[in-house]
Structure 1
Amino acid sequence: MDRTAWIVVTLCVVGLIAWYIYAGKQMPPARPSTATASPTSPPVAEASASARPYLSPSPVPTPTPVQPGPTFPEKIETLRNADVELRLTNRGGGIKEVILLNQIAKDDKRVILNSAQEMPIGAIVDQPAPPALPEFALSREPDGSVRCERAMQDGVTMRKKFFFQKTNPPKDNFLLEFDVDLANGGAQPYASSGYFVALGSAAPIHPRDYPYYTRLVWCVPTHGWFGESTVKARDRNVSSFQGGGGFLGLGQRAPQPFFQQDFTGGEWTAVTNQFFATIIAPLNATLAGKGFDSWKANGIWGRSFEVSTEQHMVGIEGAMHMPGFQLQPGQSYTARFQIYVGPKIYHQLGQLEHNEAEIMNFGVFKVVSQFLLNFLNTIHSVVKDYGVAILILTAIIRLVLWPLQSKANRSMRQMAALSPKMQELREKYKDDPTRMNQEVMKLYKQYGINPVGGCLPMMIQIPIFFGLYQMLAQAVELRNARFLWVQDLSQPDTVAHLPVLGWPVNIIPLCMAATQIWLMAMTPKTGDPTQRRVMMFTPLIFLFICYNFAAALALYYTAQNLFSILQFYQNKRQPMPKLEKVAPAGKRKR
């Protein structure tokens, strides 16, 4: 990239960071707290089983103290396949932990999801706060599924069944289903104004994971650019719960103890960190043996919690709200849910039927990110090394842009040749900036030079930059992917820490800055001293911004700089363009 491009890309990175800080302001407002719940009080915990029934018909939280933990012994049943182990608990009748058997966290330990909070995934609660979880009877069925059962008050029984979906061939090892059945065996009608399905929790796996991606997400119907029906994933990231001063005073917000949002026709809801997600999608429901129309989600709740004070890690916990129903004596209500719990592998999410791939949050340049990720995985399927795949992807992008960049380089050399004449005009009209700009533009016109001729490659690279950044930041395929000395392409390539100071030594960003300085030293100098001073500090600014980015992103830009240097050497071998005045349009020969 030329000097102008580096300025714009640096501003893009600054803008990207500013956007992350400011993004919390763009979230939809939380549902106002009711009169019975103080805005500074967390949502209520569920009372013990003897105090009120599970799935209480009360629609509003009542401020009561959090109940002590369960006194009955915990029982665990497991469901397991080649990729995941689910540990189901009798406390709340849900999934206590999810162990991803082929995903490694720190210190060679396996990644465990939902390990930071007590609320099990799939628990059915009336209010989604840390409850005194009721006891369920757990049993393993002959078909391998796990059954949870609990007798509630007034003759109502709740049964839940968790099992892996069976497809031939197996479609996805991270996909399971659970069914909820409520049977009214009492003499009185049973009414529920709605209930919550616990999503569990999500927290950063590694202290260096980007906290922005720890989010509460919900997918709802909307309309596209041309009025067509579509769906869109909306989210609330964990920083929005903590409050903050915003960016330059914009987007200031107060801390929120919890978040609650109403909607209609929700396709799915989820909690997610940078690389892993728990997504629950309602499938259908029946009431008294007949189809029940109100079976999609109609709300979401979430709160943040502190995972590690020392490492400043914050997680998020959530629950999906479902519509209410009424059961006459002898009637039953059944709801089916699908759970995806595992890594955010884009092509697998894209094969699911409820638009689960929308959780990737690729941003404005989603199409670019999707294309680059699919292309990167295609290259990897051949070379079997993600570091090499990134280098090949960089080479292909540079080859596509080569003709445009060559034209831009020629334009820059013409500008450099014109620099002495421009300097004369600046000296001559230094006291009259308006006249100076007019004369400079006139000079460009005389020699047929387009002052923005080098901008086209830069404009094309802006969506590539943002698309690549979002793609590399969320590509779970890069986790623990090695390349040369790099142990994990999704993390900075720290090889040591400076004594006393403790600062990390990241090699690839230093190489990126060195190649950028080399590239700028080769670029034709402009006559503008201000621009020269700005360009002198641009590599240092870019190094500061990108120093702790993922090694994959720094590797891409280092390789891109090397290709740019190669292209400059190739262009330098060509004769210097001559400055020739062009005839005015009206006097050109026909």
Structure 2
Amino acid sequence: MDRKSWIIVTLCVILAGVNLYYVQENQKLAQAEAARIKQEQAAKKAAETPAAPSAATPAPGVTPAAPAAPVAAVAAAVPVETHSIKVGTVTFELTSKGGGIARAALAGTDQVTLNKNGLEAIGALRREASGMDALAYKLTEKSDKSATFEGTTAEGIVVTKKYTLTEGPEGDEHLIDLKITLKNTGTAQHRSEEYYLYAGAATALKHDEGRYDGFFWNNAGDTDHELSKYFGKGFFSEAPTEYRHSFNALRYAGVMSRFYTHIITRMAEKDAPAKLWAGRRKLAQPIDAASVGKAEIEDFTYDAAMSLPVVDLAPGASVTENYQIYLGPKEYDRLSRIGHQRSYAMFYGYFKIVSIALSKVMRWMHNISGSWGLAVILLTIFVRLCLWPIHAKSTMTMKRMGLLGPLMKELQEKYKDNPQQQQMETMKLYKDYGVNPLGGCLPLFLQFPIFIGLYSVLEVAAELRGQSFWWVRDLAAADTQGQLLGFNINPLPIIMGLTMVAQMKLTPQPATVDKTQQRIFMLMPLFFLWISYDFAAALALYWSTQNIFSVFQTRIMKLYMPEPKLEKVALKPAAKAAPAQNPFFNSGAPSKDNKKKGPKPPRLGG
């Protein structure tokens, strides 16, 4: 066989081995799943059958565990008590079922209910990360600013949860304190690493926003996250069903959607090890009403739970942990103000520093103008003014390169059979006329991180959600004004495409651009129009404003800046190097040039 045949055979053998490995793994997973289902059915059957009293006595120092079914029955028998705490535009709906925040209703421009698809209340205390809090709580105290729940486990652990509105300089209407106390009223030592606080469920507001959903954590100041794609199926692996990880200093954790987030922060002077669990659930109904009944549309919600530090209680001892729960929009300014590194949960990407700076400037522009639409326009103009000197120099360089076009074509014809010599002569031509071929690309390199940073800000800016501007009803959504032949009519992206064409017409093209490249450049506006047609209106507004300002900038430069001339650069003669000094030269002795000329003395002796 030849070399190509051996390569094909080798690849086939490798793929066959990989396929066999994953077939065996899938069989093991299927067997494990079948065994788990069988055990659950057996446990359910045993719970329904009344068990005979056992004569065995528990070992000393061990508290006998009560069966789960009676606890659930007691929890179901206790009537559910609710209490609402309202502050500003936020209403926290608390419930004794789980002893936590069932929902958080955000009024104002938000008009959103957080944890609407939650399995239980935020702050529910689970004994297994993916389980449920079956403890029967009672509402023992309540006021306009607080609520206290209390319940006792089968092991004799009294759980007390007190929710209080956060006040002080770091207070916020979206922030609430949680003080949780565990007291051992039994006669045995109680130790456990499996106490989890449920962080709630984050769900996208629209089907297209599902890619922004996910969970995150902060471990000793290092913040990271996973988006919905984490639960996707890999090329050689099955889709993970959950996320479990232990951290040595877990400060906070939570879930998030595109514009909103749940953050549970541990308030303590010292960090402590803790665990994080996260999972995904398929919703029974699609998020968008228009998608109801379509089997191909799948929407999900994302849950998370953060564990308490290790609980180790002697009989009669108690431990108290303090937390803060944030339920609100993802606004950098707000999260930065309430501190405790919560602003790190704004995942702007690689150009995070640029995004933070632009976010602050945009908020400052909003404080001046009072309109978020005007803030986007003013921010765009501000960025363009900062880049004006570089843009002007780039334009002059491109114009000078355009003047070199005929000379460069002569070189291409003269050295068409010698590319290396052609390149050398081209570089010599640039040097003779003082043209930097990279000068026209510099603004692009500077604008790229600015554009990506601003895109990251406008993409997840909760401040823009629900804000209207001109005909735009929501700056965080497309500015659809109707339909034509089944297609949405979005004016701002169309304006963006037209202004891009005008900008390209006025921008001087480099001398090396041929007709094929010119056609490609002319198709660029159509390409950008296609990919950004359904973008948020704020992004289209930014891009349209930038194009219009660029056209204005080009006209101003054409009127008031002289056109470049094709002139060779006068090369300065190289300075003559001074002779090397002798280290033994006596600088104090007079040189021959410094000797005075005069009459010589007479020569004696003939």
Give the TM-score normalised by the residue count of structure 1: 0.79
Offset, 1:253: 5.9
AA at the equivalent of 1:535: F
**Is 1:85 matched with 2:98?**
no
Pair 42,80 (structure 1): closer, same or farther in 2 beyond 3 Å: farther
Tell me if the contact between 1:208 and 1:491 (Cα under 8 Å) persists in the aligned partners: no
Tell me if the contact between 1:77 and 1:140 (Cα under 8 Å) persists in the aligned partners: no
Pair 253,446 (structure 1): closer, same or farther in 2 beyond 3 Å: farther
Q: 1:300 aligns with which of 244, 268, 276?
A: 276
Describe the superposition over 1:399-448 as per-residue Cα deviations: whole angstroms up to 9, x where unpaired.
Answer: 12112111111111111111122223223333443333222222211211
In structure 1, the residue matched to 2:529 is: 543
In structure 2, the residue matched to 1:13 is: none
Gaps spanning 5+ residues in structure 1: where? 1-34, 52-56, 59-63, 105-109, 222-230, 246-251, 286-292
Tell me if the contact between 2:129 and 2:194 (Cα under 8 Å) persists in the aligned partners: no
Tell me if the contact between 2:496 and 2:540 (Cα under 8 Å) persists in the aligned partners: yes
Offset, 1:155: 2.5
**Is 1:194 matched with 2:194?**
yes
Q: Hey, what's the Cα distance between the residues in 2 that align with 1:40 and 1:379?
A: 60
**Is 1:510 matched with 2:494?**
yes
**Is 1:583 matched with 2:570?**
yes
In structure 1, the residue matched to 2:243 is: 259
Tell me if the contact between 1:508 and 1:554 (Cα under 8 Å) persists in the aligned partners: yes
Q: Hey, what's the Cα distance between the residues in 1 that align with 2:94 and 2:386?
A: 52
In structure 2, the residue matched to 1:528 is: 513
Equivalent positions of 1:245-256 (< 5 A) are 254-256=238-240
Pair 572,260 (structure 1): closer, same or farther in 2 beyond 3 Å: same
Q: Which moved more, 1:73-82 or 1:426-435?
A: 426-435
Describe the superposition over 1:15-59 as per-residue Cα deviations: whole angstroms up to 9, x where unpaired.
Answer: xxxxxxxxxxxxxxxxxxxx99959999999x99x99xxxxx99x
Equivalent positions of 1:367-382 (< 5 A) are 367-382=353-368
Pair 383,240 (structure 1): closer, same or farther in 2 beyond 3 Å: same
Offset, 1:76: 2.2
AA at the equivalent of 1:344: K
**Is 1:558 matched with 2:560?**
no
Q: Hey, what's the Cα distance between the residues in 1 that align with 2:459 and 2:32?
A: 38
Describe the superposition over 1:107-135 as per-residue Cα deviations: whole angstroms up to 9, x where unpaired.
Answer: xxx20011112222111112122537333
Q: Hey, what's the Cα distance between the residues in 2 that align with 1:351 and 1:39?
A: 47
In structure 2, the residue matched to 1:241 is: 231
Q: Hey, what's the Cα distance between the residues in 2 that align with 1:362 and 1:171?
A: 25
Describe the superposition over 1:197-236 as per-residue Cα deviations: whole angstroms up to 9, x where unpaired.
Answer: 1110111123343x34312110112xxxxxxxxx221111
Equivalent positions of 1:390-409 (< 5 A) are 390-409=376-395
In structure 1, the residue matched to 2:173 is: 173
Pair 350,36 (structure 1): closer, same or farther in 2 beyond 3 Å: farther
Greater strand share, 1 or 2? 1
Tell me if the contact between 2:160 and 2:181 (Cα under 8 Å) persists in the aligned partners: yes
Please state whether the residue corresponding to 1:549 is helix, strand or coil: coil
Pair 301,232 (structure 1): closer, same or farther in 2 beyond 3 Å: same
Q: 1:474 aligns with which of 447, 460, 473?
A: 460
AA at the equivalent of 1:218: W
Pair 40,482 (structure 1): closer, same or farther in 2 beyond 3 Å: farther
Tell me if the contact between 2:183 and 2:316 (Cα under 8 Å) persists in the aligned partners: yes
Tell me if the contact between 2:247 and 2:274 (Cα under 8 Å) persists in the aligned partners: yes
Decide which structure has the larger Cα Rg and report it: 2
Q: Which moved more, 1:401-410 or 1:138-147?
A: 138-147
Tell me if the contact between 1:216 and 1:237 (Cα under 8 Å) persists in the aligned partners: yes
Root mean square deviation of aligned Cα: 3.2
In structure 1, the residue matched to 2:21 is: none
**Is 1:489 matched with 2:495?**
no
Offset, 1:170: 7.9
Equivalent positions of 1:47-446 (< 5 A) are 71-72=76-77, 74-104=80-110, 110-131=111-132, 133-141=134-142, 144-167=145-168, 171-209=171-209, 211-221=210-220, 231-244=221-234, 254-284=238-268, 296=272, 298-307=274-283, 308-309=285-286, 310=291, 312-446=298-432
Q: Hey, what's the Cα distance between the residues in 2 that align with 1:100 and 1:187?
A: 45
Q: Hey, what's the Cα distance between the residues in 1 that align with 2:103 and 2:435?
A: 65
Q: Hey, what's the Cα distance between the residues in 1 that align with 2:219 and 2:30?
A: 29
Q: Hey, what's the Cα distance between the residues in 2 that align with 1:187 and 1:399?
A: 73
Tell me if the contact between 1:69 and 1:132 (Cα under 8 Å) persists in the aligned partners: no
Q: Hey, what's the Cα distance between the residues in 2 that align with 1:496 and 1:203?
A: 28
Pair 133,496 (structure 1): closer, same or farther in 2 beyond 3 Å: farther
Offset, 1:585: 5.2
Pair 132,364 (structure 1): closer, same or farther in 2 beyond 3 Å: closer
Tell me if the contact between 2:246 and 2:273 (Cα under 8 Å) persists in the aligned partners: no
In structure 2, the residue matched to 1:8 is: none
Tell me if the contact between 1:204 and 1:214 (Cα under 8 Å) persists in the aligned partners: yes
Q: Hey, what's the Cα distance between the residues in 1 that align with 2:393 and 2:141?
A: 69
Q: Hey, what's the Cα distance between the residues in 2 that align with 1:333 and 1:479?
A: 42
Offset, 1:511: 0.9
Please state whether the residue corresponding to 1:489 is helix, strand or coil: coil
Pair 142,492 (structure 1): closer, same or farther in 2 beyond 3 Å: closer
Q: Hey, what's the Cα distance between the residues in 2 that align with 1:412 and 1:102?
A: 51
Q: Hey, what's the Cα distance between the residues in 2 that align with 1:319 and 1:477?
A: 28
Q: Hey, what's the Cα distance between the residues in 1 that align with 2:575 and 2:373?
A: 54
Pair 170,235 (structure 1): closer, same or farther in 2 beyond 3 Å: closer
Please state whether the residue corresponding to 1:279 is helix, strand or coil: strand
Please state whether the residue corresponding to 1:323 is helix, strand or coil: coil
Offset, 1:340: 1.1
Gaps spanning 5+ residues in structure 2: where? 1-28, 49-61, 64-68, 292-296, 577-606
Tell me if the contact between 2:170 and 2:337 (Cα under 8 Å) persists in the aligned partners: no
Q: Hey, what's the Cα distance between the residues in 2 that align with 1:257 and 1:40?
A: 16
Pair 69,560 (structure 1): closer, same or farther in 2 beyond 3 Å: farther
Fraction of identical pairs, as percent: 33
Describe the superposition over 1:364-421 as per-residue Cα deviations: whole angstroms up to 9, x where unpaired.
Answer: 2222111111111111112111111111111121112112111111111111111122
Describe the superposition over 1:118-177 as per-residue Cα deviations: whole angstroms up to 9, x where unpaired.
Answer: 22211111212253733322243357421212121133221111111233x783111111
Q: Hey, what's the Cα distance between the residues in 2 that align with 1:351 and 1:213?
A: 24
Tell me if the contact between 2:126 and 2:133 (Cα under 8 Å) persists in the aligned partners: no
AA at the equivalent of 1:83: T
Tell me if the contact between 2:94 and 2:100 (Cα under 8 Å) persists in the aligned partners: yes
Describe the superposition over 1:492-514 as per-residue Cα deviations: whole angstroms up to 9, x where unpaired.
Answer: 21222333xx3322211111111
Q: Hey, what's the Cα distance between the residues in 2 that align with 1:332 and 1:36?
A: 44
Pair 538,344 (structure 1): closer, same or farther in 2 beyond 3 Å: same
Q: Hey, what's the Cα distance between the residues in 2 that align with 1:112 and 1:428?
A: 72
**Is 1:456 matched with 2:446?**
no
AA at the equivalent of 1:564: S
Please state whether the residue corresponding to 1:374 is helix, strand or coil: helix
Q: Hey, what's the Cα distance between the residues in 2 that align with 1:399 and 1:587?
A: 40
Pair 585,241 (structure 1): closer, same or farther in 2 beyond 3 Å: farther
Pair 273,118 (structure 1): closer, same or farther in 2 beyond 3 Å: same
Report the number of matched residues: 510
Q: Which moved more, 1:403-412 or 1:536-545?
A: 536-545
Please state whether the residue corresponding to 2:482 is helix, strand or coil: strand
Tell me if the contact between 1:268 and 1:354 (Cα under 8 Å) persists in the aligned partners: no
Give the TM-score normalised by the residue count of structure 2: 0.77
